[in-house]
Amino acid sequence: MRKFALSIWTLCFLTLVWVLLWGTFSAANVVGGLVVALVITLLLPLPPVPVEGKLRPLAFLRLILYFAMKLVVSSFQVAWLAIRPGPPPATAVLRAHVAVKSDLVLALAVGVITLIPGSVVLEIDQKRRLIYVHVLDVGSEKNVEAFYRQVKTVERLMVAAFERDADWRPSAEKEDV
């Protein structure tokens, strides 16, 4: 049942993306989007992703609120760095450890970190749970520490939302490996 619900969700999401890309809500766009979604899901299926935790709605809401706040604040910081007088800010590639159990949650955490302006994840070491991130404005120790705090906050919120120990059950797919 879960697989069927996920398939329906995927079809609906891809259809919505199609309609949004066309910019007009019409029956033809919805039907066309549904056809494209069916073709994509049938001809280009994604491998199954094990879901091992349980969604905690309140913790997930805290994650969303933190992400929204960081999105706004970081956008203004990056905009200021772009228009301020003086030399461009110092940049660096920093390595951070993300202590999450699930590959899916690791991918979600990387997505959140990348979407926050001023940082782009360049590489993921899946086995050691290390990420290499290009960070804008590392000209001071304070800014570098702020980046590491941001990563730890995202990690803590991801674990609270998806990976609490009480709800954790490793998938059968990982046990076979």
Contacts of 88 (CB under 8 A, 6+ apart): 81
Cα separation, 35 vs 51, in Å, equals: 28
Give phi and psi for 127, each to the nearest 5: -65, -45
Tell me the whole-structure pTM to 2 decimals.
0.73
Please list the pLDDT of the chain residue by residue as tens digits (177 residues). 667 877 898 899 999 999 999 999 999 999 999 999 999 989 988 787 776 778 899 999 999 999 999 999 999 999 999 999 999 999 999 999 999 988 889 999 999 999 999 999 999 999 999 999 999 999 899 999 999 999 999 999 999 998 876 665 666 555 444
Q: What is the pLDDT of residue 104?
A: 86
The DSSP secondary-structure symbol of 166 reads: G
For helices 57-83 and 141-162, the axis angle rounded to 10 degrees is 160
Cα torsion through 11, 17, 23, 27, rounded to 10: 0
Q: How many angstroms separate the CA atoms of 155 and 68, rounded?
A: 16
The residue behind tokens 């299926």 is: 45
3-state helix, strand, coil in the chain (%, to 5): 60, 10, 25
Residue 100 neighbours by CB distance under 10 Å: 20
